[in-house]
A and B are shown apart, each in its own frame.
Chain A
Amino acid sequence: MSLSTTPPGADWVAVTSRPLPVGEVLTWVARPECGAVVTFLGTVRDHSEGRTGVESVEYEAYTEYVGLRLADVVTSARSSWPGIGRLALLHRVGLLEVGEVSVVIAVSTPHRPEAFDAARFCIDELKESAPIWKHETWAGGSGWGTSGHQVGNSVRRHAARGAAVSAGSADVGGPAPGGPGS
């Protein structure tokens, strides 16, 4: 998870409150046997759904497990695209201003199709599985990110107002009666 030095292996996974070392990643990811490097940068945008004038975003992570989830993404990508040379997944946490880089995906492969496909897979999987939350501040207020993905088993049935203790149930997620608005 070190940022100050590049990792010894072929994968670079990190979550840090420091600015992401984009240039260093670009240098690191290139390999002699790889003719393609695809890099994706996620940056803080000045608007989101129903919110204009976004000024900053604060990212919070489940520090103890976010690295493992990112490593899972790396494992899946390498399984699907065995030709991957080097692969970097870096995410920033803490307070970021508009325009700052929040996430870096970089992948090198022998040919370009798998580099594009693997990079797209990695950012999509990261967004769906990494335990990270964003809190936006805009001109008119502040609030949590609204476009989220469910992780873990849904606790809806047990969290609804007035829910009875229901030991012995074995929920596997999905909607259940008694959620918000019910």
Chain B
Amino acid sequence: MPHLWLFGPAREAAGTARDEVAGGTVAEVVTAACARYGEHFSDVAATCGVWVNGDTVPLDRALCDTDEVALLPPVSGG
């Protein structure tokens, strides 16, 4: 199943940096992750953007087992 990578406050809220989450699309993986990790994570996730394999993709993008879905809180480098 697709790999979920979490960063910053999303990683902290989930209590893990990586997981495997079932879902046929990006949107389904995000929703499933919110169900798994709970309300605080959902609140953080609502502020996030998503990449698949490093690229910005539509949320209805179909996923395969090797895809890497990354949940990205607002970035704050510099």
Contacts and interface: CB of A to CB of B under 8 A. Distances in A.
Contacts of B7: 60, 62, 131, 133
A24 interface: no
Given A64-B54, A126-B77, A170-B60, A150 B49 contact: yes
Interface in A32-83: 42, 59-62, 64-65, 68
Nearest to A59: B77
A132 B45 contact: no
A178 B46 CA distance: 9
B1 interface: no
B49 A154 contact: yes
Contacts of B56: 151-153
A112 to B, nearest CB: 23
Interface string B64-78: 000000111111111
A1 interface: no
Contacts of A65: 51, 54, 70
B59 A169 contact: yes
Interface string B3-37: 00101110110000000000011111011001000
Interface residues of B, number: 39
A4 to B, nearest CB: 23
A98 interface: no
Contact of B31 (A68, A126, A158): A158
A139 interface: no
Interface stretch (A5-13, A113-121, A159-167): A159-167
Interface centre among A65, A68, A126, A134 (most CB of B within 10 A): A65
Contacts of A129: 75
A25 to B, nearest CB: 16
A99 to B, nearest CB: 16
Interface in A117-175: 123, 126-135, 144-161, 163-173
Interface of A: 42, 59-62, 64-65, 68, 91, 102-103, 123, 126-135, 144-161, 163-173, 178-180
Interface of B: 5, 7-9, 11-12, 24-28, 30-31, 34, 39, 42-43, 45-51, 54, 56-60, 70-78
